[in-house]
Amino acid sequence: MFEIFIILFSIFVLIAAIAAVEMKDLLSSIMALSVVGFGLVIIFIFLAAPEVVSAQLVIEILCFVSLVVVVNKTSKVDETKLYSMREISPVSAGLFFAIIFIIFGLWGIQDLPKFGEPVMKVSSVYIQKVIAEIGAKNIVTAILMDFRAFNTLIEVVLIITLFVGVATILRKRGRKNAESD
Partner 1 sequence: MPRVIKILTNYVIGPIITFGVYVFVFGHLLPGEGFDGGMIVASIFILCIIVYGKEEMEKRISIGNAVFISVFSGILIIIMGFVGMLGLRFEHKYYLDNFLSQGTFSHLFSGGTVPIFNILVGLSITFGFYAIFAYLSEYRTEA
Q: Is the dihedral of CA 41, 148, 132, 129 positive or negative?
A: positive
Which C-beta is closer to partner 1: that of 25 or that of 133?
133
CA distance 86 to 91: 10
54 binds partner 1 (CB under 8 A): yes
List the one residue out of 166, 139, 133, 117 whose CA is nearest residue 50: 139
Helices (H), 74-148: 88-109, 123-129, 139-142
Of 15, 17, 35, 144, the residue at the interface with partner 1 (CB under 8 A) is 144
Cα 6 to the chain's mean position, in Å?
18
Answer for which of 167, 173, 178, 181 binds partner 1 (CB under 8 A) is 167
Site for partner 1 in 14-43 (CB under 8 A): none
E strand spans, the chain? none
138 near partner 1, rule: CB under 8 A: yes
> Which of 47, 50, 76, 87 touches partner 1 (CB under 8 A)?
50
63 binds partner 1 (CB under 8 A): no
**CB 68, CB 26: distance < 8 Å:** no
Residues 117-136 binding partner 1 (CB under 8 A) are 131, 133-136
**Size, binding site for partner 1 by CB under 8 A:** 42
The CA-atom distances, in angstroms, between 135 and each of 126, 144, 152, 165 are: 12, 14, 19, 39
In the complex, least distance from residue 22 CB atom to partner 1, rounded to whole angstroms: 25
Which residues of this protein are in contact with partner 1, per CB under 8 A?
A: 50-51, 54-55, 58-59, 61-62, 65-66, 69-70, 73-75, 131, 133-138, 140-142, 144-146, 149-150, 152-153, 155-157, 159-160, 162-163, 166-167, 170
